[in-house]
Amino acid sequence: LSPQCEPLLMQLVKDRATNPLNKDLDWDSINAFCEQLNKELEGPPLATRLLAHKIQSPQEWEAIQALTVRERLSRRVRQIKGQGGECPVLLFGL
C-alpha cells in the first residue's frame, strides 16, 4: 500500500472492529488494527486518538468493542516484552 492509503486503511479497520452493528467481536478486524498500529512510530498516541471517542460512545456495544481492541493492544505489548524482543509500540503506559 502507498503511504497515503495507510491512514485510511487504519480508519476503515478500526471502524469495522468497533462497528455497533457487529453481532460478535470481529477478531480479524481487531487483529488487523493492532498490526497496523504496530507499524506506526506514533502508535500509542494514534491508538488513543482513534479509540477515545469509541470508548466513550453512548452505544454500549461500540464502547465494549473499543475497550476490547485496547485490551488486545495491551496484551500484544506484554507478549512482545515477555519474549525478550524489542517492543516497537509501547501502548497505554505498559
**Does position 28 have pLDDT exceeding 50, yes or no?**
yes
Instruction: Summarize the confidence of residues 65-79 as an average pLDDT.
Output: 81
Instruction: Summarize the confidence of residues 55-82 as an average pLDDT.
Output: 83
> For domain 6-82, is the CATH number 3.30.1950.10?
no
Q: How does 37-74 read in b/e, with b if 16+ C-beta sit within 10 Å? A: bbebeebbebbeebbeebbeeeeeebbbbbebbbebbe
Range of lowest pLDDT (9-13, 34-38, 86-90) = 86-90
- What ranges do the domains of the chain cover? 6-82
Q: Is the pTM of the predicted complex or chain greater than 0.85?
A: no
**Does position 44 have pLDDT exceeding 80, yes or no?**
no
DSSP for 42-73? THHHHHHHHHHHHHT-SSHHHHHHHHHHHHHH
**Does position 93 have pLDDT exceeding 90, yes or no?**
no
